[in-house]
C-alpha cells in the first residue's frame, strides 16, 4: 500500500495591508492571534510596559499573575489545552524567575511563547549599569537559548517581522517554548518594508515514509498480540482521533503512559489502562510486555514512563514513532513526520490477529461504598472522586502522590488530565488550573495538590478569585513532602502547617472545607460540585504514613538510588 501524500502545514498569507504602518509590537500581537493565542499571562515591569499597553488595547486578554513562575505554569497549561500559550515579563528579574516553568514546558513539549522586554538599544551605549541587568545585555537571551527551541532579539527593524515568523513557526512545528526579546525602544518602530507571511510546508521524505509504512504494516499484520502505547505527543500534535481510528480499524488494544494519561479517553473499550512498568497494574504491565508488536506512538521513554526503568520492552518487537525519530525494530527512518507516518499507516490498513483483553479494564470507576466514620486515605479519596468525573471534567495534578494516586482515576474525555509527569516540578497545579480555566472557562476543574506544592504557588488562587473561576482544589495535607519521606526520611521533609481551609477569607473569595473522614470528604465534595460561585478548597488531613500503591512501588525502586 502506497503511503498517502505527506501532510503539509496550512499555507497562510497575511495580506499586505496587515503590515502597512504596523509596528513590531503590533505585528507580534497579530501573529500570536494567528496561532489561536487569545490570552497572555505575566507580570508587567518598566522594560515591557509599552508592549503591555499595546496588548491592553488589542483583542488579546492580559492575565496578570502573582509570580512569574506561576505565569509560566499557567501559559504552559493554556498551551496544553489550546495548542499554544504565551507569557510576557520584564527583563531578568522577570525572565529569570520564569526559567523553571519554561524548562518544564521544554521537557514536556508544550509550546509557550516567552516575550520579554529589555533595555532600549539607545540606553546601552558605553555598557551602563542599568537596573535588572546581569553581567551583560545578552545574559537573559543566552539563558533562554538553553531552554527554548528558537529565539530572537528584535533589534533590527528590517528583519523583525520575519524573525517573529521564524520563531513562532518553530514553536508550532516542534511543540516547544520559544523566546522573543523586545528592546523597549523597538516596540513602536514601524519597519520600512511591507511584509508577506508565507508558512512553508515541511514534507516527509516520501521514499523513507513508504519503506517505513510497509515495514510497520508487515510487522503488525504478522503479529498475534499487538498493543498500542500512546504518549503525550499524540495530544501535542492533535493526533488523538487518528490513534483511535487506527485502533478501532485494527482492533488493537491501547494503553497510555503516565505523561500521556488521557490522550486517549480511558473509557474507550479498547483502552486497557496505564503502562508504567513495575509501578503500574501487574496485568497491564504483563499485557504490554508479552506483546509481539508494541506500537509506541508519540511516547517519551522517560524514567517515570518506564517505571524507573523497570519496563521490559524488546526493541526487536517495537515500532517507535515520535516527532523526533522513527524506529521500526532496529531500522531508523529519517525525515518522516509523526502525522504523515500515522496517516499512511491508517491508509495501509494492516490486519493483525484480533487480541482479547483477558482482564477487567479500568474503563469504569471501581465500586465505592462510603465508610463515613473511617479516616480518609488517599486511595479512598480517589475512588470517591472517580464517581463524579465526567466528560467535562479537567483534572490537574501536582507532583507527588497527587499524581501517583491520580493514575487510578478514570478520565472520560481525551486530553483532560494535566500534570508535569516528566519534569516533575512542584507547584504546577494551582497556576496550571488558572491557565486551563482561562482556556476552557465552562469546564469543571479539579485540582489535586499536596501541602508542600501548595505553599510554593498557592497564591495564584488570588488571580482565580479575581477572574471569578470555580475550580475544586483538593489539598492533601500530610504536613510535609510525602514522596521524599518514603525515599529518604529526615526532618528536612517537614513543613509548617497552615489552616488551608481558612484561606478563602484571606483571598476574599471561595469556600473552605476541613476534612478528616470519608464522610467529611463526601459531604464537602458534593457541596463543592454544586457550588459554581467561586473556588472550593477542600483541606484533607492525611496520615503522614499514608500513600498510594503507585507511590509505594516507586519509593521501593527509587529509595535504592537515593
Q: What is the mean pLDDT of residues 134-159?
A: 93
Q: Is 233 helix (H, G, I), strand (E, B) or coil?
A: helix
User: What's the CATH class of domain 206-348?
Assistant: alpha beta
Q: Which CATH number fits domain 378-558: 3.20.20.100, 3.30.300.20, 3.40.50.970, 3.40.30.10?
A: 3.40.50.970
Task: List where CATH 3.40.50.970 sits in the chain.
Answer: 16-183, 378-558
Q: What is the mean pLDDT of residues 135-139?
A: 84
Q: What is the pLDDT of residues 87-110, one digit of tens each?
A: 999 998 999 999 999 999 999 999
- What the block records as the C-alpha cell of 312 is 521490559
- The predicted structure's pLDDT at residue 490: 85
Task: List where CATH 3.40.50.1220 sits in the chain.
Answer: 206-348
Contact 179, 114 (CB under 8 A): yes
- The predicted structure's pLDDT at residue 282: 85
**pLDDT-derived band at 7, boundaries 50, 70, 90:** very low
Question: Which residue in 48, 26, 17, 15 sits closest to 190, CA to CA?
Answer: 26
User: Can you give the pTM of this predicted structure?
Assistant: 0.91
Q: What is the mean pLDDT of residues 4-16?
A: 41
- The predicted structure's pLDDT at residue 202: 85
Q: Is 478 helix (H, G, I), strand (E, B) or coil?
A: coil
Distance of alpha carbon 46 from alpha carbon 97, whole angstroms: 16
- The predicted structure's pLDDT at residue 23: 96
Distance of alpha carbon 546 from alpha carbon 124, whole angstroms: 57
Contact 531, 511 (CB under 8 A): yes
- What the block records as the C-alpha cell of 449 is 495538590
- Domain range 16-183, CATH architecture: 3-Layer(aba) Sandwich (3.40)
**pLDDT-derived band at 454, boundaries 50, 70, 90:** very high
Q: Is 331 helix (H, G, I), strand (E, B) or coil?
A: strand
Q: What is the pLDDT of residues 277-295, one digit of tens each?
A: 767 788 998 999 999 999 9
Distance of alpha carbon 390 from alpha carbon 365, whole angstroms: 11
Asked whether the predicted pLDDT for residue 5 surpasses 50, the reply is no
Percent with pLDDT over 70 in the chain = 91
- The predicted structure's pLDDT at residue 308: 47
Amino acid at each position: 500500500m502506497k503511503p498517502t501524500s505527506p501532510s503539509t502545514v496550512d499555507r497562510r498569507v497575511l495580506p499586505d495591508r496587515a503590515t502597512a504602518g504596523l509596528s513590531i509590537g503590533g505585528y507580534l500581537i497579530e501573529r500570536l492571534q494567528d496561532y489561536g493565542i487569545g490570552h497572555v499571562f505575566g507580570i508587567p515591569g518598566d522594560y515591557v510596559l509599552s508592549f503591555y499597553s499595546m496588548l491592553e488595547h488589542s483583542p488579546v486578554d492580559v492575565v496578570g499573575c502573582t509570580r512569574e513562575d506561576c505565569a509560566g505554569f499557567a501559559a504552559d497549561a493554556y498551551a496544553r489545552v489550546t495548542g499554544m500559550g504565551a507569557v510576557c515579563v520584564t527583563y531578568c528579574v522577570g525572565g529569570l524567575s520564569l526559567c523553571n516553568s519554561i524548562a518544564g514546558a521544554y521537557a514536556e513539549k508544550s509550546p509557550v511563547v516567552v516575550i520579554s522586554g529589555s533595555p532600549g538599544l539607545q540606553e546601552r551605549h558605553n555598557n551602563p549599569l542599568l537596573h535588572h541587568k546581569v553581567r551583560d545585555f545578552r545574559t537573559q537571551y543566552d539563558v533562554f537559548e538553553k531552554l527554548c527551541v528558537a529565539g530572537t532579539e528584535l533589534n533590527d527593524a528590517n528583519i523583525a517581522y520575519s524573525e517573529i515568523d521564524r520563531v513562532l513557526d518553530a514553536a508550532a512545528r516542534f511543540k516547544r517554548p520559544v523566546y522573543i526579546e523586545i528592546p523597549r525602544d523597538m516596540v513602536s518602530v514601524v519597519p520600512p518594508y511591507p511584509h508577506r507571511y508565507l508558512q512553508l510546508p515541511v514534507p516527509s521524505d516520501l521514499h523513507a515514509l513508504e519503506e517505513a509504512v510497509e515495514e510497520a504494516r508487515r510487522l503488525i499484520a504478522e503479529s498475534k498480540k499487538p498493543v498500542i502505547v500512546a504518549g503525550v505527543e499524540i495530544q501535542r500534535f492533535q493526533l488523538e482521533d487518528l490513534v483511535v481510528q487506527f485502533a478501532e480499524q485494527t482492533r488493537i488494544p491501547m494503553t497510555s503512559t503516565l505523561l500521556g494519561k488521557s490522550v486517549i479517553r480511558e473509557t474507550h473499550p479498547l483502552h486497557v489502562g496505564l503502562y508504567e512498568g513495575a509501578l503500574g497494574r501487574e496485568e497491564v504491565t504483563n499485557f504490554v510486555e508479552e506483546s509481539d508488536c508494541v506500537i509506541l506512538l508519540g511516547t517519551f521513554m522517560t524514567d517515570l514512563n518506564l517505571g524507573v526503568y523497570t519496563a521490559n520492552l524488546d526493541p526487536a518487537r517495537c515500532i517507535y514513532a515520535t516527532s523526533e525519530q522513527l524506529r521500526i525494530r532496529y531500522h531508523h527512518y529519517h525525515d518522516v513526520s509523526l502525522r504523515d507516518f500515522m496517516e499512511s499507516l491508517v491508509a495501509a490498513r494492516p490486519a493483525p490477529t484480533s487480541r482479547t483483553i483477558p482482564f477487567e479494564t479500568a474503563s469504569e470507576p471501581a465500586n465505592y461504598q462510603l465508610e463515613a466514620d473511617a479516616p480518609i486515605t488517599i486511595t479512598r479519596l480517589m475512588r470517591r472522586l472517580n464517581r463524579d468525573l465526567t466528560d467535562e471534567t479537567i483534572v490537574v495534578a501536582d507532583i507527588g502522590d497527587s499524581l501517583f494516586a491520580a493514575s487510578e482515576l478514570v478520565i472520560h474525555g481525551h486530553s483532560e488530565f494535566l500534570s508535569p509527569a516528566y519534569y516533575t516540578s512542584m507547584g504546577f497545579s494551582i497556576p496550571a488550573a488558572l491557565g486551563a480555566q482561562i482556556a476552557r472557562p465552562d469546564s469543571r476543574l479539579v485540582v489535586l495538590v499536596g501541602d508542600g506544592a501548595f505553599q510554593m504557588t498557592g497564591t495564584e488562587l488570588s488571580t482565580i478569585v479575581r477572574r471569578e473561576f470555580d475550580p475544586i482544589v483538593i489539598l492533601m495535607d500530610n504536613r510535609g513532602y510525602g514522596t521524599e519521606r518514603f525515599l529518604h526520611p529526615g526532618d528536612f521533609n517537614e513543613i509548617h502547617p497552615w489552616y488551608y481551609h481558612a484561606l478563602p477569607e484571606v483571598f476574599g473569595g471561595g469556600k473552605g472545607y476541613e476534612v478528616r473522614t470519608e464522610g467529611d470528604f463526601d459531604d464537602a465534595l458534593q457541596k463543592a460540585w454544586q457550588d459554581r460561585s467561586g473556588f472550593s478548597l477542600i483541606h484533607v488531613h492525611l496520615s503522614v504514613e499514608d500513600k498510594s500503591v503507585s507511590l509505594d512501588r516507586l519509593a521501593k525502586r527509587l529509595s535504592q538510588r537515593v
